[in-house]
Structure 1
Amino acid sequence: VKQLIDSGAIKAKPKKGISSFRSKKIAEQKSKGRRKGRGSIKGAKGARNPKKKAWMTTIRALRTDLKDMRENREINKTSYRKLYRMAKGGAFRSKSYMKTYARDHDLLR
């Protein structure tokens, strides 16, 4: 058997493995922004962007905006407190909605 191996009559078969070509290709496409449509999304509605995270981003934006408005003397302390409480209660979905409310209810100076 050793002679046959030395002469080249018997050769070892190459080791088989799982190719990572397809997974690399898909990862490259995803980095470009492909394959991310509605049909590719798995999990619940709040799985990719949890409700708490969404709430945190909106409330932080509202509170910083309120503080800026108070510092720039656009609103007084009482209206600031009122809007702050309303924001905490979920009355406004964005800064623009809050400003519209303040404008409509004569809370701006």
Structure 2
Amino acid sequence: MDLSLQKRLAAEILGVGESRVWIDPEAYDRVEAAITKEDIRKLIKDGIIRAKPEHSNSRARWRIRHEKRKKGRRRGPGHRKGGKYSKVSRKEQWMMKVRALRKELRKFKERGVITPKEYRKIYRLIKGGVFDSVAQLRNYIRELVEERM
């Protein structure tokens, strides 16, 4: 049986889409007989035709993501939106650079390439922001060693 007319009329009256109109399966014959808006209004009053509740977006995926973020996951630079410095801040960039330089400097001291006094001097230069990269530091140490010989 085709109830598309009744569904369309009910949707208009209820102010919802046709997909949200519910018709009682027990009373299909009564609904089929209803062909005017007045008939449909009567069926709505009797509870034979109703509007289904509105569906909202599921928060299940959000909840899972939120739990992961509480654990510190999905917080890396690849997940960050925004400009250059909101991904990796200037401070973080500085920390990464300084740590790499100090690690390299330690290696030179452990190998005995530089003296403890030179180590301290270069350490302070790193803190002062003299070197832009590990390559620049290596070059400086190479020149320092060549000068000594």
C-alpha RMSD of matched pairs (Å): 2.9
Q: Find the counterpart in structure 1 of residue 113 from structure 2.
A: 74
Instruction: Choose between structure 1 and 2: higher helix proportion.
Output: 2
**1:66 CA drift (Å):** 0.9
Write the distance in 1 (CA, Å) between the matches of 2:145 and 2:50: 86
Q: Find the counterpart in structure 2 of residue 29 from structure 1.
A: none
Task: Summarize the alignment of residues 1-109 of structure 1 with structure 2, pairs less than 5 Å apart.
Answer: 5=24, 6-8=26-28, 9=31, 10-17=48-55, 42-43=82-83, 45-106=84-145
Q: Highest relative contact order (Cα 8 Å, sep 6+), 1 or 2?
A: 1
Tell me the alpha carbon deviations over residues 53-83 of structure 1, each in whole angstroms, 9 at most, x when there is no partner.
1111111111111111101111111221111
Instruction: Choose between structure 1 and 2: higher strand proportion.
Output: 2
In structure 1, stretches of 5+ residues that fail to align are 21-35
Distance 1:50 1:94, change over 3 A: same
Write the distance in 2 (CA, Å) between the matches of 1:96 and 1:68: 14
**1:102 CA drift (Å):** 1.7
Detail structure 1 runs of 4+ shifted over 6 Å in the superposition. none
TM-score normalised per structure 1 = 0.61
- Residue identity over aligned pairs, in percent, reads 30
Q: Name the aligned partner's letter for residue 82 of structure 1.
A: K
In structure 2, stretches of 5+ residues that fail to align are 1-22, 32-47, 59-77
Write the distance in 2 (CA, Å) between the matches of 1:60 and 1:70: 15
